[in-house]
Chains A and B, each alone.
Chain A
Amino acid sequence: MAKRAAPEVNAGSMADIAFLLLIFFLVTTTIETNQGLSARLPERQPVTEDAPPLRKRNVFEVMVNQNDQLLVENELMEIGDLREAAVAFLDNGGDGSCAYCQGTKDVNSSVNPNKAIISLRNQRGTSYKMYVAVQNELQAAYNVLRERERERLYPNEVSWTEMWAQYNAAKTSDARKDALKPKIEKLQELFPYKLSEAEPKKD
Chain B
Amino acid sequence: MSTWTAVLLASALAFALKLSGYVVPARWLDGDRTTRITSALPIALLAALVGVQTLTDTDGSIAVDSRLAAVAVAVMALVLRAPFIVVVVLAAAVAAGLRLLGLP
A and B interact: no
Interfacial residues, chain B to chain A (CB-CB below 8 A): none
Interfacial residues, chain A to chain B (CB-CB below 8 A): none
